[in-house]
Amino acid sequence: MLPSLSSLNLGNCELPTDTQVSLAPPNPSRFMNLTSLISLNIRQNYFSSTSELNLFLNLSTNLQVLSLDGNNFKGPLPFNILEKFSFNELEGSFPLCVGNLTSLQFLNLKLNKFGGKIPNELGDLKDLCYLDLSFNSFNSSIPSSLGKLRKLEFLYLNGNQLYGTVPSTMGQLSELQELSISGNSLTGEMSESHFMKLKCLKFFEFHGFVELRVSPQWIPPFQLRFIDIDSLNMGDQFPPWLQTQQNVSVLILRNASISSPIPEWFGTTFSSVTELDLSMNKINSVLPSSMKNLRILAVVDLSENKLTGSITEWISQDLSQLRRLTLRSNNFSGVIPSSIKYFKYFYYLELSENQFTGTKPEWIGEVSQLEELRLRSNSFYGPIPKQLCQLPYLETLSLADNNLTGRIPDCLL
């Protein structure tokens, strides 16, 4: 009976291994008497029938954590149950009884097939700290009632079909640390009020055709570590508020409508960045000298801009952690920096559609981990270096539309 049991963890136990075994015990009342249960975890097993979830309907009303993700549950939910069932195939609309589970702290419905409206009743879960509705088919606006979840620390709404504007009440989530709203169809504007009290925010991911309208003097209340922005119109200038963000490790500003030069403060402010993506903007300048301060970069994508000049001073031996460099569709010129041969983990080089010149470097054979080499549509000349045959992991080689001469190495025939 175990009426005093408060936590039961049977996660990742391969239960049941026999497809004929049911979740239901011979005497279902054995589960019904767990009246003190606060946390129940049967995640990462092989349960399948949602009808068996009726067993949990009479569990303690103080239940705070119910983790059933990573099973094979399929079909509609029992009418009166709310769960954390990510990585299943649950479907239907969101249970309207959600507002009754006032002690709930953790709710994860990630990677299911829920659709319809995100209910306003979610705002009644005053103790909720974690909410993940990502990768479903919710088709509604974001309810403004979510702004009442003052204890919420993690909010993931990405990968749905949400539309309309982002409610300004989101700016009231003073404990929020991570926010992801990418992969929806949101429109309109976001302003300073959307971030007013987000002093704890560290992770911000937003993909959508929305305009960010803030004052040039705005100083955000947060210090972000992860910025992933795609198709959020930030204006033609690099926003001054970015200069206040001193702890960023991932900076993605893709398709953000920026056309101004990269400011000199950029390399100093973001010296801790390991992943940098400024692709699909209209940045028209040479790279500032401060880019040399970005010494721990691992992944760089500056493709589809109007950047000019040489990259030899920037791509120096100091960038020893660099793994992937994408500069496609710019106006870069000069030679390929020979320092690349010293990068132990380097595997991807994409320089297509620029104005690079010189012969193909013979040292390329020393980049032993190289998997993809894309140099199409430049002004390279001379023979194809036979040292390419020394690259055991090379999968993609693109040299078209250059001024190459001589024989094709035997390894390519």
Q: Does residue 142 belong to any structural domain of this protein?
A: yes
**How many alpha carbons lie under 13 Å from residue 181 in its C-beta half-sphere?**
21
Q: Are 174 and 195 spatial neighbours (Cβ–Cβ below 8 Å)?
A: no
So what's the pLDDT on residue 1?
61
Q: Does residue 7 sit within a domain?
A: no
- Model confidence at 58, in pLDDT bands (50, 70, 90)? low
107 has which bridge partners?
A: 131
Per-residue DSSP letters for 300-342? EE--SS--EE--TTTS-TT-TT--EEE--SSEEEEPPPGGGGG
CA dihedral 18→20→26→32, nearest 10 degrees, is 90
Q: Is 8 among the domain residues?
A: no
80-100 residue pLDDT tens:
455 445 555 556 676 666 666
**Is 32 a domain residue?**
no
C-alpha torsion 14→20→23→25, nearest 10:
-120
What's the CATH code of the domain at 62?
A: 3.80.10.10
* Domain count for the chain: 1
pLDDT value of position 87 = 54
What's the rounded Cα separation, in Å, for the pair 275 and 93? Answer: 38
Q: Is residue 239 part of a domain?
A: yes
* pLDDT at residue 298 greater than cutoff 70: yes
Q: What is the mean pLDDT of residues 242-248?
A: 97
Is 327 inside a domain boundary?
yes
CB-based contact 155:176 (threshold 8 Å)? yes
Task: List, in order, residues 6 or more apart from 92 with CB less than 8 Å away.
Answer: 76, 77, 114, 115, 116
257 in Cβ contact with 239 (< 8 Å): no
More confident residue, 389 or 16: 389
pLDDT tens readout for residues 124-157: 999 999 999 999 999 999 999 999 999 999 999 9
Q: Whole-angstrom Cα distance, residue 143 to residue 231?
A: 22
- Is 380 inside any structural domain? yes
Query: Per-residue pLDDT tens for 327-354?
Result: 999 999 999 999 999 999 999 999 999 9
Q: Could you tell me the pLDDT band of residue 164, with boundaries at 50, 70 and 90?
A: very high
Residue 20 belongs to a domain: no
Residue 114: pLDDT band (50, 70, 90) is confident
Q: What's the domain range around 367?
A: 42-412
Average pLDDT over residues 213-233: 97
Q: Which strand ranges, in their side-by-side order, compose the sheet holding 308-309? A: 308-309, 331-334, 355-359, 379-382, 403-404
Quote the DSSP letter at residue 286: B
